[in-house]
Chains A and B, each alone.
Chain A
Amino acid sequence: MRDYHRLYEEIQVLEKKFGAQRVFWDEQGNWVMVRDLPLPPGLNKQSTNVIVIIPEHYGNGAPLRDAFIDPDLRVRAPKTGKFVEIPHYFQEFPYEQPPIETKEDWACKKWRYICLHQPTDRWPQGSILNYLSNVYKFLAEPFRDWQATFSSYKEHP
């Protein structure tokens, strides 16, 4: 049971923030996508598309956990200056059962999974906008210790 009232409001907030032409969603609320989310400096691209998977019980206790971004992102390594892999950014979906659809579905469409679990779904810390903001902050400093922000860093440091 998702809280559709909240999701509706959050979509409106995202449309105000990014413009209606850049925000897409599934009618049943399974996902929300923002196109061309600006990326911080230090990456090999200036923007990425982001799809945030909305958990089944979002707004009723289940925090955001899963997102997919462009597959070809790299970060410049602080020491060598070369573009390297980003932590918590997977070529393969880590769960046995993805939240929706199959592993092949997203892989063949060339999205890539980023493992950033928010600890709460409370408003406003647990909102989609805040999640996107956290994705940006994470990509700005991917080698930092993110335990306080993402529970996935506690589970799989």
Chain B
Amino acid sequence: MKPVIMTLKEQDWECLQAILFQADGRERQVFLELGLREDQHTFEVLLHRLRPVADADYLSQGLYHVSPKPQAVVEAYNAFCRSGVLVHGHVHSHPFCDVAHFSAVDHQTLGQIRRGLADLVTLQGLNESTTCFQMVLGRDPAGFEGVLLNLWGEKMGALSTVRVITPQGIRLYQRELGEDNSGALADVRLDRNIRWLGKEGQKKLSQTHLSICGLGGAGALLVANVRGLGFREITLVDPERLEPSNLNRFVGAGIEDVESYKVDILKRELRRVAPETIVHALPCGVEDPEAQARLREADLIVAALDGMQPRAELQILAARFLKPLFDLGSGILVQPGGEIRRMGSQIIVYIPGQACLACQGMDLFRPTEGLAGEIRRRTGYVVGATTELTPTSVVTINSVAAGWTVDLIIKFLTGIGPIPLYTQINQWRGIVEQLHFVKKESCSLCGLDGIEGKGEDRAVLPPPPFPALGIQFDFGDGQGSPACWTPTGARPHGLFGNLVAKLGKPKDYDRSANGKESH
């Protein structure tokens, strides 16, 4: 059995407390739609949506008991089926005590809810890995008991920790205190940190798994900034090898490291300062399954990437798994004549529950960079790398961006100060601006119907109906061999080859009759 961690946004936690503990002192219930993340050691349930039971929808309700009407339960089941998450949750309060435990009556009621869910899964043909999470809360925020069960009632894990993601850091409520690692704080290497952050602040850093994606100019300097801070675990993700032109800003690398993976060089540097730090060096892109799995385990993600595609990937992951995301970008805008127009960086922060990167002006889902990209190409605007068009002083921009980002990360994790979500550093003019963007309710990522807390998506598309059609495959190359089709969906002759297979030979048409493209 693994421990279960429940992660939720601050506003959901406050909402849950407000619903469950009201002035009349009666028990109340809330249904939960929860995402799931599973790794070797833990289950994590992520709150996607709350479905409170209205007072009018209780069959009976008192100071020591509560029972919803069957209709309310069915509505919660239906909403769960539509949501696409893997865990159906149920929480009720024991407002008469600080520390709550499941009672015999609770076990009976919750068993009925679980069996109802099992029937629904069979009827609707839902994913059989659907699980059931049940929780009871006392007046003390840490006075909870919770279990994760499979559809057959077997206990998969017991709730050990509730993690609340707030704009001032990650708040932990633990049923039983974990291993005391205060011994590590006596380490003389952390002395200067403790004088600044205090023991509690340093302890928070020492419990954190930080991940850094993109080890270009800014990313490498970021690693240099964090290596002495005492993080428990660090994941590095970058598919590139070191080039000679990187040496001007790649801390710790020498000429002998050229052609080595950047992640390996920085892992070595991290371990030189703190051998006890667990470092995962992943020489791959952020979309790689291994990187995805490791990033899902991290407490906080830093993105120092080029391009929107990997940024979009990280923003989606951060939203689905409720991870704070710090995105930094830096660059120089040089006019065709060589005159510098802009020089600086920006740090955009996504805290689950707050505005996402898209709501803060980042156009994540464009397949091309559009006008901005064209301007960048024409004027030599470069993000995080040097080219002939970029002055060599780019290292100074990266240093400021990396240092500023680490400062924000520390403030966030330790709660020593508020952090702005958007910081723009204009190094050319010496101006730092903090912008505030309002979260859009219609946003597909962080809005009301967004994806926050949806967790893993274990759905698999059904096999395409080609074989059942009994049509000869024609990949447009005259081969027409069914053997070319592989059940894994590989397309040996391209997407449109498969389509031809289904439709028969392409219709002839007079290309000249089509005229020119119109717009």
Chain A contacts to B: CB under 8 angstroms: 1, 3-9, 11, 20-21, 24-31, 33, 35, 49, 51, 55-57, 59-63, 65, 70-72, 85-92, 95-97, 99-102, 105-106, 108-112, 120-123, 126, 155-156
Question: Is there contact, CB below 8 Å, between A61 and B514?
Answer: no
Could you jot down 21 A-B contacts, CB within 8 Å? A1-B317, A3-B84, A4-B457, A26-B495, A28-B461, A35-B503, A55-B365, A55-B367, A60-B451, A61-B312, A61-B445, A70-B507, A88-B518, A89-B517, A95-B368, A97-B367, A100-B495, A101-B495, A109-B496, A110-B509, A112-B514
Question: Is there contact, CB below 8 Å, between B507 and A110?
Answer: yes
Give the size of the chain B interface in residues (CB under 8 angstroms): 56
Question: Is there contact, CB below 8 Å, between A87 and B518?
Answer: yes
A114 to chain B, nearest CB (A): 11
- Docked Cα-Cα span, A101 to B440, in Å, equals 34
Residue pairs across A and B with CB atoms within 8 Å: the count is: 155
Chain A residues near B496 (CB, 8 Å)?
Answer: 101, 105-106, 108-109, 111
Question: Is there contact, CB below 8 Å, between B499 and A95?
Answer: no
Question: Is there contact, CB below 8 Å, between B509 and A60?
Answer: no
- Docked Cα-Cα span, A96 to B367, in Å, equals 10
- Among the 9-residue stretches B134-142, B177-185, B344-352, B462-470, the one with 4 or more Cβ atoms under 8 Å from chain A is B462-470
- Docked Cα-Cα span, A108 to B499, in Å, equals 12
A33 to chain B, nearest CB (A): 6
Q: B367's contact among A87, A95, A155, by CB below 8 Å, is which? A: A95
Residue B494, interface by CB 8 Å: yes
B322 to chain A, nearest CB (A): 14
- Docked Cα-Cα span, A110 to B476, in Å, equals 11
- Docked Cα-Cα span, A86 to B464, in Å, equals 32
Q: 1/0 contact trace for B47-84 toward A, CB 8 Å? A: 00000000000000000000000000000000000001
B480 to chain A, nearest CB (A): 15
Chain A residues near B368 (CB, 8 Å)?
Answer: 95-97
For the complex with contacts A26-B489, A61-B316, 13 further pairs of A-B residues with Cβ separation under 8 Å are A7-B461, A8-B462, A24-B465, A25-B464, A33-B502, A60-B316, A61-B444, A72-B514, A97-B368, A101-B494, A109-B476, A109-B500, A111-B499
Chain B residues near A108 (CB, 8 Å)?
Answer: 476, 496
Question: Is there contact, CB below 8 Å, between B459 and A8?
Answer: yes
- Docked Cα-Cα span, A96 to B313, in Å, equals 22
Chain B residues near A123 (CB, 8 Å)?
Answer: 449
A17 to chain B, nearest CB (A): 16
Residue B488, interface by CB 8 Å: yes
- Docked Cα-Cα span, A156 to B368, in Å, equals 14
Residue B358, interface by CB 8 Å: yes
B388 to chain A, nearest CB (A): 22
